[in-house]
Structures are given as C-alpha cells and as structure tokens.
Amino acid sequence: MTARRRVECACRHAFVEPLARLLTADGWHGRAFPCINAEINTNLRSHRPEILELHRATAGLDAYQRLWSAHDLSSTAPVPESLRDERTRVGAMMLLHALADQARLWSDTEPSEDDGAACAANLTDMFLGATLAPATPRPPKPSP
C-alpha cells in the first residue's frame, strides 16, 4: 500500500466515514447531526470553552496534524506546513458543510449504505486533493 493510500484510508476512517455513516444510519435523526455540527463549527468563537476544547481535541487542527505526522508524506508533493495547516482548516470546514448539504439533499429520501459509502469516498478524495496538492510557486514580489 502506498503512503498516499495509507493517508487516504486513515483520513476516511477517522474523519469522513463516522459522519457520512450518519447520512444513512438513522433516518432524519442521523442526517440532522451533520447539519447541526456544521453550524456549530462555523461559529466556534461564540461557544463556551468546553465546546472549543472538545472541538480542538477531536476535529480541530491538532487532530489533523496527528494524522499528517503519523504518515510518511515524503512521496506526496512538498507543501509547506503553514500552507498545509491553512488547507486543512478550510478542508475540514468543507467536509462538514458538504456532509450537511448532502444530508439536506437526502432529507426526503432513504439513501442506501452504498450511497453513504460513495459520498464518503468522494469527500475523502476532495479533502486530500485539496490539502495535499502541490503548492503553486509564488511569483517574486516586484521591485519598488
């Protein structure tokens, strides 16, 4: 298994599948959670310290940094750590909102487990594609 594939599997199992499973597991109750979770995470600064700590420990940048540090990323394109952190924050929010959007789209249907698995695979690809893509070289600053 390649390093990229190991990162993909770890990301899908740790961050995407648990929420994607809710889309198909418990009718509207399960689909409500990604919508609520996306709202909470969009307005984190307005929450109590306990909520902020729970987020930091389970879904914040620290959790993703543990994922990155647990895997050899040397075979992927080099991305400066500060840029990867920025992409990770944006990507995590993208995941939450994409799951919430999918939950809303499925609000009047009963999606199958296969639908949920396809959604999880697609979101994993989108997240890793965005966070691990090669960094675009910055043009030199013009001389004054």
> 59-95 pLDDT, tens per residue?
566 777 777 777 777 777 788 888 888 888 888 888 8
- pTM score of the predicted model: 0.70
- Rounded to whole angstroms, the Cα distance separating 19 from 81 reads 27
User: In this predicted structure, what is the pLDDT of residue 52?
Assistant: 67
Contact between 7 and 128 (Cβ < 8 Å): yes
Rounded to an integer, what distance in angstroms lies between the CA atom of residue 19 and that of residue 25? 10
Q: Supply the pLDDT for residue 57.
A: 62
27 φ/ψ sector (left φ>0, alpha ψ -120 to 50, else beta): left
What is the rounded CA–CA span in Å between residue 118 and residue 124? Answer: 10
- 76 three-state secondary structure: coil
What pLDDT, on the 0 to 100 scale, is given for residue 61? 66
Identify the pLDDT of residue 97: 85
d(CA 38, CA 92) in angstroms, rounded, equals: 10
Low-confidence ranges of the chain (pLDDT < 70): 1, 43-47, 51-52, 54-61
**CB within 8 Å of 36: residues ≥ 6 apart:** none
Instruction: Give the pLDDT of residue 67.
Output: 75
